Amino acid sequence: MPQNSRGYGVTEESLTLRRPDDWHVHLRDGAMMAAVLPYTARQFARAIIMPNLVPPVTTIAAAKAYRDRILKALPAGSDFEPLMTCYLTDHIDPDEVGRGAREKVFRAAKLYPSHATTNSAHGVSDIAKIEKVLERMADEGLPLLVHGEVTDPSVDIFDREAVFIERVLAPLMRRIPELRIVFEHATTKDAVQFITDAGPNIAATITPHHLVINRNALFQGGLRPHMYCLPVAKREAHRLALRQAATSGKPKFFLGTDTAPHPTKDKESDCGCAGIFAAPAALETYARVFEEDGALDKLEAFASLNGPAFYRLPANEGRITLRRAPTKVPALVNVGEIGVQPFLAGETIGWQIA
């Protein structure tokens, strides 16, 4: 198959790319991790591992121990590197974050506004409290990953991302312009516009589900807990803006699945958990989206090149091939007695990882 210098090649039957990375993954721990990790490791060479465990990963020692548990849980023969992150709290020690960055244990630090999402009770109550840490991160070149939603209950849930940009993000970027920021799981045209217009120190990840569903999916014929994640899916105009950004090939947008598995019983509940288990058919879903938009030639930039460039890491040398063949997304993934339902459970996608 003809391949260009970057490794991309497409024919009638297949598509070959440099091996992609996933820049936003929740692997959890224990039996859940053992069950979900193979889905990530089969497609991605590296992944940014989110630190929102209970208790959260706030120290170098905790990140190293978690990394070791991940490596131990990998299926034999996997070639997968977990990139660890630090969970920022009001009381996080700037020296610990700085040392973790120097030792390359921490590849980034995550800002969860407190109570914004799953396991964020220990998150930051006011960004002013971590100014010293953020300055230190800017000095070390350690990227800040933001869950970009305000938690002010008086702000409509569909507006919380746009309001975060105005109230928190834009002022932060004026105060510490050297800080490198990834706006995680962008869900609005406001975020796309802001990031496009801003300088080179900010980029964004985009999930497969936010490229596929809009907020109607949450209410399709009844309440659909498996379509619920945070930030919640928005109107169609936002989904279209995200698709345009992802398929543009622009360096500021890259792949981050935000795969966030929860036991089915915790999703199908009176107070269902936020999180979509996107890993089982992630790359296949992105390929479908890029094909639908006539942009398969931009998939490699989004999936395999833009992320490493922002994180100042080399792109992967390996290749992955997707064949045009139907893949059935599993209806349920079992974790012992517990079931976890993937995004697009039971549906067929026209791409298969070779």
Indicate which residues carry an active-site annotation.
258
Beta carbon of residue 237, minimum distance to Zn ion (angstroms, whole number)? 23
Residue written as tokens 């930051």? 124
- Dihedral angle sign, alpha carbons of residues 15, 212, 302, 243: positive
Number of residues that bind ligand NCD (CB under 6 A): 12
To the nearest whole angstrom, how small is the minimum distance from the Cβ of residue 263 to ligand NCD? 11
Look up residue 23 and give its DSSP letter.
E
Helix locations, the chain, DSSP H: 30-41, 60-73, 94-102, 131-140, 160-164, 170-175, 189-197, 208-212, 236-246, 264-267, 282-292, 299-300, 306-311
> Residue 24 or 243: which CB sits closer to Zn ion?
24
Stretch that binds ligand NCD, among 91-99, 116-124, 296-304, 311-319 (CB under 6 A): 116-124
Shortest Cβ 28–ligand NCD spacing (Å): 8
226 interacts with ligand NCD by CB under 6 A: no
Q: Is 147 in the site for ligand NCD (CB under 6 A)?
A: yes
Q: What mask of x and - would describe binding to ligand NCD in positions 271 to 290, judged by CB under 6 A? A: ---xx---------------
The pairing of strands 46-49 and 81-87 is parallel
Question: 142 vs 279, 291, 312, CA distance in Å?
Answer: 26, 34, 10
Site for ligand NCD in 1-30 (CB under 6 A): 26
| Cross-strand pairs, 322 | 15, 353
Least distance between ligand NCD and beta carbon 213 (Å)? 13
257 touches which of Zn ion, ligand NCD, none (CB within 5 to 8 A by kind)?
none
- Among residue numbers 181 through 210, which ones bind ligand NCD (CB under 6 A)? none
Q: Binders of ligand NCD among 250-269, rule CB under 6 A?
A: 258, 260
d(CA 11, CA 213): 28
DSSP bridge partners of 323: 14, 352
> Which range touches ligand NCD (CB under 6 A), out of 10-18, 114-122, 291-299, 309-317?
114-122
Dihedral sign for Cα 170, 186, 102, 308, please: negative
Distance CA 49, CA 40 (A): 11
Select the residue interacting with ligand NCD from 15, 182, 212, 230 (CB under 6 A).
Answer: 230
Residues that bind ligand NCD (CB under 6 A): 26, 52, 117-119, 147, 229-230, 258, 260, 274-275
